Amino acid sequence: MPELSVAVVAGDVEQRSVMQVMVDGTGVARTRQTFATYPVATTDPVLRKIHATNPDVVIVDIPSDSLAALRAIELIHQEMPGSAVFALGSMSQPQIIVSAMRSGAREFIERPTTTTDLLEAFVRLSAAQRKVQREEVRGRVFTVVNAKGGSGATTIAVNLSLALQSAHSNVALVDIAPLGHAALHLNLKPAFTVANAIQNLHRLDSSLLESLTTRHGSGVQLLAGTTIPMVVEPTTAEFARLFDMLVSHFRYVVVDASSRVDPTTRLVSNLSQTVLITAHSDVASLWSAAKIQQYLGETGGRERLQLVLNRFHKTPGFTEADAASAAGMKLLWKIPNQYFAASSAIDRGIPLMQQRNSDIARSFIALASRLTESDIEVKRAAWSMFKIG
């Protein structure tokens, strides 16, 4: 881990020197400079001086009279987005902890602090930074849309995300359905939803995004859907920004659009590598799939729209080629019809993928590997070049 540079802001002289010794004592960080006054405005020369030291971390000591320190945290967070702010204060005042975090502090460290506490906070920070750097490779989006309500979009999105997670990890499941059911399928009780992410777009960074998701036992991180209609429908521009953030943080983003067919689903489809249009093999379902394909493809990129036949069973006189031509798109996948397993998985909140030895779980594993085939080719190519070099 590279050495972190630190600036300390503390009104108290003793506190400044104690912090310097402790920071340097961690062995992973070094104090560049300490400051005795809290900046009060964007034009404050102290703020400029802190800026000039270009620190990875600014530690701000919060005395019992906390106002100036909290304002300083807010200013530093705003004006120096590349630096993390660690607040240092007493744990006995929860209101101050909350205010410090709201002002933009990344960590709240208890005073009197120990070198171990500091070391842990520094390690957490650099692990998060490494993650951001690693993920400069943009993640890929797969969107699942129903041809007709109840065709199985949520079942497919949930199980596909679990299959991707077990093969590659770092997967998000984003529920943009009109009424989000994904949490129910995963037996999760999310505290936040897509609506919270949209409301906080102006300050949405990787760590906030992370905290708005709900982690499933498999490791999949769910950005849950709304359970009540949103008061103000977010604009497509807002969704575009949210997805920009999602792909810079996650390797794979699976979207459950279910029966939502509107400009947002079309936008998300355009951002997707593949859109899985889910239908049954009957005439009405395939007719609907064709209509949805036309609507989503109006703005281009039709080749990414592909048909998934759910609850598939062979019908005499009706071939898979017939289904693909009725729907007007390529057949990507067929998922077997296992009604009992599928509905009891939903009722129990234990996804099909967690019953690994079933045909249907194998089908999702194979679907995940089909969708990531080209990624693996890229990795292999890189590996063989590496070996030759």
Ligand X SMILES: Nc1ncnc2c1ncn2[C@@H]1O[C@H](COP(=O)(O)OP(=O)(O)OP(=O)(O)O)[C@@H](O)[C@H]1O
154 is a contact residue toward Mg ion (CB under 5 A):
yes
Question: For residue 318, what are the β-bridge partners?
Answer: 315
At closest approach, how far in Å is the CB of 184 from ligand X?
9
Question: For residue 344, what are the β-bridge partners?
Answer: none
At closest approach, how far in Å is the CB of 362 from ligand X?
13
At closest approach, how far in Å is the CB of 143 from Mg ion?
13
- CA distance from start to end of the chain: 27
Structure tokens at 208: 């906030």
Nearest to 47 by CA among 18, 77, 17, 82: 77
Structure tokens at 39: 């900046």
Structure tokens at 237: 């521009």
* Chosen residue from 148, 181, 251, 260 binding Mg ion by CB under 5 A: 181
At closest approach, how far in Å is the CB of 288 from ligand X?
12
Closest CB to Mg ion among residues 25, 149: 149
Q: Are 301 and 329 in contact (CB under 8 A)?
A: no
155 is a contact residue toward Mg ion (CB under 5 A):
no
Q: Could you tell me the CA-to-CA distances from 216 to 223, 276, 368 in Å, in that order? A: 11, 23, 18
Which of Mg ion, ligand X, none sits in contact with 155, Cβ below 5 to 8 A by type?
ligand X
Q: Are 61 and 11 in contact (CB under 8 A)?
A: yes
Closest CB to Mg ion among residues 74, 256: 256
Q: For residue 138, what is the DSSP state?
A: P
Which of Mg ion, ligand X, none sits in contact with 5, Cβ below 5 to 8 A by type?
none
Closest CB to Mg ion among residues 4, 177: 177
What is the spatial distance between Cα 337 and Cα 373, in angstroms, rounded to a whole number?
25
Please state, as a whole number, how many other Cβ atoms lie within 10 Å of the Cβ of residue 257: 31
Q: What is the per-residue binding string for Mg ion in 110-149, x denoting contact by CB under 5 A?
A: ----------------------------------------
At closest approach, how far in Å is the CB of 368 from ligand X?
16
What is the footprint of Mg ion within residues 239-278 (CB under 5 A)?
Answer: 258
Closest CB to Mg ion among residues 165, 258: 258
Which of ligand X, Mg ion, none sits in contact with 152, Cβ below 5 to 8 A by type?
ligand X
Total of residues contacting Mg ion (CB under 5 A): 3
Question: For residue 145, what are the β-bridge partners?
Answer: 258, 277
SS3 content of the chain, % helix, strand, coil (to 5): 50, 20, 30
What is the spatial distance between Cα 350 and Cα 359, in angstroms, rounded to a whole number?
16
Structure tokens at 232: 């103000």
159 is a contact residue toward Mg ion (CB under 5 A):
no
At closest approach, how far in Å is the CB of 327 from ligand X?
16
Closest CB to Mg ion among residues 69, 222: 222
Q: Are 259 and 149 in contact (CB under 8 A)?
A: yes
Q: What is the per-residue binding string for Mg ion in 28-67, x denoting contact by CB under 5 A?
A: ----------------------------------------
- DSSP state string for 286-341: HHHHHHHHHHHHTTS-GGGEEEEEEEE--BTTB-HHHHHHHHTS-EEEEEE--HHH
**Which residues contact ligand X by CB under 6 A?**
146, 149-155, 177, 181, 258-259, 310-311, 335, 337-339, 342-343, 346, 360
Summarize as ranges the residues that interact with Mg ion (CB under 5 A).
Answer: 154, 181, 258
